[in-house]
Amino acid sequence: QVSVGVMTSGGDSPGMNSAIRAVVRETLRRNYRCYLIREGYAGLISGKIDEANWSSVANITHIGGSFIGTSRCDEFRTYDGRKKAAKQMYERQMFNLVVIGGDGSLTGAQKLKEDWMKIGEELFAEGNIKLDVANKGRELRLVGIVGSIDNDCIETDKSIGSDSALHRICESIDGLVMTAQSHQRIFVIEVMGRHCGYLALTSGIAVEADFVFYPEMSLEENWADKLCQQLETVRKLGKRHNIIIIGEGCKNAKGEKFDAKLVKSEIENRMTAEVRTVSLGHLQRGGTPTFLDRLLGLRMGYNAVKELLRVDKDGKPFTGSQNNASVICLRGHTIKQQSLDKVLRKVEQANDEIKHGNVEK
């Protein structure tokens, strides 16, 4: 009996439930067994794993977050942690795994894959009676789905959750604009995104922000003067309010944290204006998924199972160039799969470029 495990890991994101639903339903439709791994890698290690049935995933596409729970798990970073996780999988004969999460979670999955054979040998050598010898030397097949509001994985045009987060950011800022206009105030707003400026930049365009600070930009020495000139220019043109967005992860030229409080005080030193700061925080990550994230989750979940259970022309499990580990990506409007290795290499490269300031503006 083929068994597929599905889990979410790292920060939750709206639309993850759709992905879980599609993985479960497509696996069951093929008459295979599907396991729900609860609380991320922590649950995989401790065995918080339940068999799913058709109704386990009913009525969940409209709910944000991850209904099976997620976590950031330090133990899984260790070989021993991964060995405990693998043991749970061997005991259930679960050799197919779908991991839904950000780059950290997919890196964890890759590590499990790298250690898998060695761990298998050790487990059999230790003589665990729950293990079936027929499974000695069995490969792990792995598929990743990028679920993160940050949209920071370079190989997919969209990660699950980023559209919903943007929707929430825009809605919140639209509300702030109303009160800002009434009082002729300046609002400095912090948005999430870790090291990636996607949420800051794209929401900035959509809400007609006057200035956006994002982590990939190199801040000029005189940034505060330039900012205030810009604010004064638009005020002269009749604008009654200003919106400034700061992406999480912004740093100044000295590499120091750069936040809304700092921007507020620099403006107040230069202009007579009422400035307020707002950090949208986890409100951006919670809440109902948009249509696009529901659809993306469903498409990616379905394609993850298709990829996992791909067979060659003789009906044997496909072992192609993907090294049995791939990531489901969106390119334009098309779902494509990429090798996990390649995706993680590209992400690392992009993060390096951001760190060293070589990003194409």
In the chain, helix, strand, coil percent, each to 5?
A: 45, 20, 35
271/354 with CB nearer ligand F6P: 354
Q: Give the x/- contact pattern for ligand F6P in 228-267, rule: CB under 6 A.
A: --------------------x-------------------
Catalytic residue flag (residue 150): yes
| 173 contact partners, CB below 8 Å, separation of at least 6 | 187, 189, 203, 207, 209, 243, 245
By CB under 6 A, tell whether 285 contacts ligand F6P.
yes
DSSP 65-103: S-TT-----SGGGSHHHHHHHHHHHHHTT--EEEEEE-H
Give which of 260, 210, 264, 202 is closest to 239, Cα–Cα.
210
By CB under 6 A, tell whether 149 contacts ligand F6P.
yes
Instruction: Give the span between the Cα atoms of 191 and 166, in whole angstroms.
Output: 10
Tokens of 199: 């949420």
Q: Are strands 242-247 and 141-146 parallel, antiparallel or unpaired?
A: unpaired
User: Which one of 105-113, 143-151, 214-222, 329-337 is the stretch in contact with ligand F6P (CB under 6 A)?
Assistant: 143-151
Helices and strands in the chain: count of H runs, count of E runs: 10, 11
11/65 with CB nearer ligand F6P: 11
282/345 with CB nearer ligand F6P: 282
User: Which one of 138-146, 148-156, 179-187, 272-280 is the stretch in contact with ligand F6P (CB under 6 A)?
Assistant: 148-156
User: Which one of 17-25, 63-71, 190-198, 201-209 is the stretch in contact with ligand F6P (CB under 6 A)?
Assistant: 190-198
CB 133 to ligand F6P: min, Å? 41
CB 102 to ligand F6P: min, Å? 5
CB 167 to ligand F6P: min, Å? 15
Q: How many CB atoms lie within 10 A of CB 226?
A: 12
Q: Which among 12, 50, 80, 150 is annotated as catalytic?
A: 150
Q: Give the x/- contact pattern for ligand F6P in 89-108, rule: CB under 6 A.
A: -------------x------
Angle, vertex CA 317, rays to CA 312 and CA 318, nearest 5: 50
Judged by CB under 6 A, which of 148, 203, 242, 338 binds ligand F6P? 148
Q: Which residues are bridge partners to 336 per DSSP? A: 329
By CB under 6 A, tell whether 192 contacts ligand F6P.
yes
By CB under 6 A, tell whether 11 contacts ligand F6P.
yes
Q: Which residues of 85-119 are buried (b: 16+ CB within 10 A; e: fewer)?
A: bbbbbbebbbbbbbbbbbbbbbbbbbbbbebbeeb
User: Which one of 23-31, 38-46, 142-150, 315-323 is the stretch in contact with ligand F6P (CB under 6 A)?
Assistant: 142-150
CB 281 to ligand F6P: min, Å? 9
**Tell me, what DSSP letter sits at residue 210?**
S
81/215 with CB nearer ligand F6P: 215
User: Which one of 52-60, 188-196, 261-269, 340-348 is the stretch in contact with ligand F6P (CB under 6 A)?
Assistant: 188-196
Instruction: Give the span between the Cα atoms of 237 and 293, in whole angstroms.
Output: 38
In the complex, which residues of this chain contact ligand F6P (CB under 6 A)?
A: 11, 102, 148-150, 192-194, 248, 285
The residues annotated as belonging to the active site are 150
